[in-house]
Amino acid sequence: MASSSSQAQKRARLGEAQYKGYNSAGEGQPDAPPPPLHPHQLLSFAPGTSEHDRLARMDSAPLHAIRTIDWPLMGQLGVRERLRQLLPPRWRQLLDVPREQYVELTLEFFSTFRLHRGDLTAATTVEFSLRGILHHMSIS
């Protein structure tokens, strides 16, 4: 559960009326629970779960700046097509993620990441969710 200081920060960010369950037009329920930490459905973890607790701890932590390729600059430098040839489609897709999605995916990954100790070659040693899909992998 979020501390009272983080709840106060959340109220300040959302506006007191929205926090109390009212929207900006004054409509809503005064006794409504506080809004989710993040409005995105992929980050709507049930209260009391480890995922919810991790997300709450990361709520005010700054994320590293997103790293992308400045494609117009690469065009000006004359290396755009060469760079496109060097990077497989999946890497280009990853590097072209918009900032909003980057934040959501990063928070989802770190909220759901689990490392199971023991046999590092087991297919379930590492598990995490991305875009609501649970992924498993080994470390070997």
> Which tens digit of pLDDT belongs to each residue from 53-111?
999 888 777 877 777 788 889 999 999 999 999 999 888 887 888 877 888 888 999 99
- Residue 32: pLDDT above 70? no
What's phi and psi for 98, nearest 5 deg? -65, 155
Give the phi and the psi of residue 115 in degrees, each rounded to 5. Answer: -115, 115
pLDDT in tens, 109-125: 999 999 988 888 888 88
Residue 83 φ then ψ, to 5°: -65, -40
Phi/psi at 28 (5° precision): 135, -165
Q: How far apart are CA 66 and CA 16, in angstroms?
A: 31
74, 82 contact by CB (below 8 A): no
pLDDT at 76: 95
Contact 12, 5 (CB under 8 A): no
